[in-house]
Amino acid sequence: MIEYVVPGNIDDRILERSSRMLAEGALLALPTDTSWSIVCSLRSRAGICKLRRLSGERDERRFTLLCASIAQFGEFCSLDNSRFRLINRLSPGPYVFILKPLLGAEKALGLRRAELGVRIPNYDVPLSLIKTLGCPLYSITAKHSMVNAEWDDANAEAPADEGLLPIREEELFEGGWELEGIKGIDCILDGGEDRERTFSTILDISGDEVKLLRQGAGPWPI
C-alpha cells in the first residue's frame, strides 16, 4: 500500500494511521534526506524482529535510530558535551553517529555490539512521523537486493560483515513505487518525488577520536 504525502504539509490522518501501524509491529518505507529507508517503531519488539529478518544484517552499524532531536539521543546513548557539540553542528543532515548505547537500549534492541547509530534526518516525512509516534524509528537503508527476497532465521544469523563499505548506487531506490516488491513492508509513504540515490556518512564518535567508517553525502572532515 502506498500513501501519498505532501512533505511540509502531511495529512494528520496519514500520520496517525502510520503511527498505529508501527505501534502494532508494521514496517514502513519512507524517504529521507538521502535514500529510502525501511523503519519500525523502537518500542515494537515485533517490528524490530521483522526489520532484522528483512535486512539479513547482523552488523549494528547498518541499523540507525532516526530521531527528531538530540534530546532523544540522550535517552538511548552516552552523550557528553564534546559529542553534543559535534552532533549539533552536523544535524539535521546526512550523518550517522556511532555512540555507546545505554544499558537499557542495548537490552531492548538485543545489540551484539556495544554500539548504536543515531541521526536526525533533514526531511519532513520521517521527522513528522517520529513526533506523531512519540519515539524514534529503527531503520535500515532499502536495497534492491531485498526485492522478492525470502529471509529466514538462517539469513538473519549470517556472519557479520567485517567492513562497512558504501552501498552501491545501483542498490538504492529512487521512486517509492519501486519498493512495492519488498515483502514485509506494510506501507510506503511517498512524497511523489524521486530521491537521490545517496547514503549517509557514518562517524564513529564512541571513542576518544572521530573515526570515519563510511563516506557518504555528508562531507568529512569539515
User: In the chain, which residue ranges form alpha helices assigned H by DSSP?
Assistant: 12-23, 45-55, 70-74, 81-90, 103-109, 124-133, 153-156
Q: Model-level pTM?
A: 0.90
Mean pLDDT of 153-171: 57
Helix, strand or coil, per DSSP, at residue 214 = strand
The C-alpha cell at 59 is 552488523
The CATH architecture of the domain made up of 2-214 is Alpha-Beta Complex (3.90)
pLDDT number for residue 70: 95
Mean pLDDT of 98-110: 82
Query: Which sequence spans correspond to the domains of the chain?
Result: 2-214
Mean pLDDT of 163-177: 81
- Per residue in 110-136, pLDDT (tens digit) is 777 788 999 999 999 999 999 999 999
CB of 196 within 8 A of CB of 94?
no
pLDDT number for residue 155: 42
> How does residue 58 score in pLDDT terms, banded at 50, 70 and 90?
low
Residue in the block written with cell 518505507: 29
Is the model's pLDDT at 78 over the cut of 60?
yes
> How does residue 166 score in pLDDT terms, banded at 50, 70 and 90?
low
